[in-house]
Amino acid sequence: MKEQIEVRSLKEGRYVLIDDEPCVIKSMTHSKTGKHGSAKSRIDAIGIFDGTKRSIIAPVTEKIYVPIVDRKNGQVLSVSGDVAMVMDNSDYSTLEIKIPEELKGKVEAGKDISYLISMGKMKIDMRI
């Protein structure tokens, strides 16, 4: 799911859709209005799920899509290979989430973890 807002209301640390991929904004710069144009903003962001750096330049009055990112908590039921079976703490549904390389030894059965859901994708997001 996504919603539309103006570029001027975005801030660092918030989310934005670039190339239909949810990204977190790392830096924003604004330029002054020119003789024949409007103020522009450059947004540098990193993809939440793929880690790719992306940037866009757009007028500050332009509307842009922002993804709705849900952070949820769950308990790891089992780990098999690089996939964890997670039970959501709020509605008790079970999910299979791929474990990232940097978290291979830290995700264990019985532990509580947090994970992100956005645009039909899921990712384990543990603050280390």
Pairing of strands 70-80, 15-18: unpaired
Q: What is the pLDDT of residue 105?
A: 81
Amino acid making up residue 60: V
Residue 10: CB atoms within 10 A of its CB come to: 20
Specify whether the CB–CB gap between 14 and 66 falls below 8 A: yes
Give the chain's mean pLDDT: 90
Q: Which domains does the chain have, with CATH numbers?
A: 2-67 (2.30.30.30), 70-124 (2.40.50.140)
DSSP string covering 61-109? TSEEEEE--EEEEEEEEEEETTEEEEEETTT--EEEEEPPGGGTTT--T
Q: pLDDT tens digit string along 21-78?
A: 999 999 999 988 878 788 999 999 999 998 899 999 999 999 999 999 999 999 999 9
Q: How far is residue 75's CA from residue 34's CA, in Å, rounded to a whole number?
A: 54
Collapsed DSSP state (helix, strand, coil) of residue 9: helix
Q: What is the pLDDT of residue 127?
A: 63
Strand order in the sheet with 40-47: 15-18, 21-30, 40-47, 53-59
Which residues have a Cβ under 8 Å from the Cβ of 6 and sit 6 or more positions away? 60, 61, 62, 63, 64
Specify whether the CB–CB gap between 45 and 54 falls below 8 A: yes
- Reported pTM: 0.81
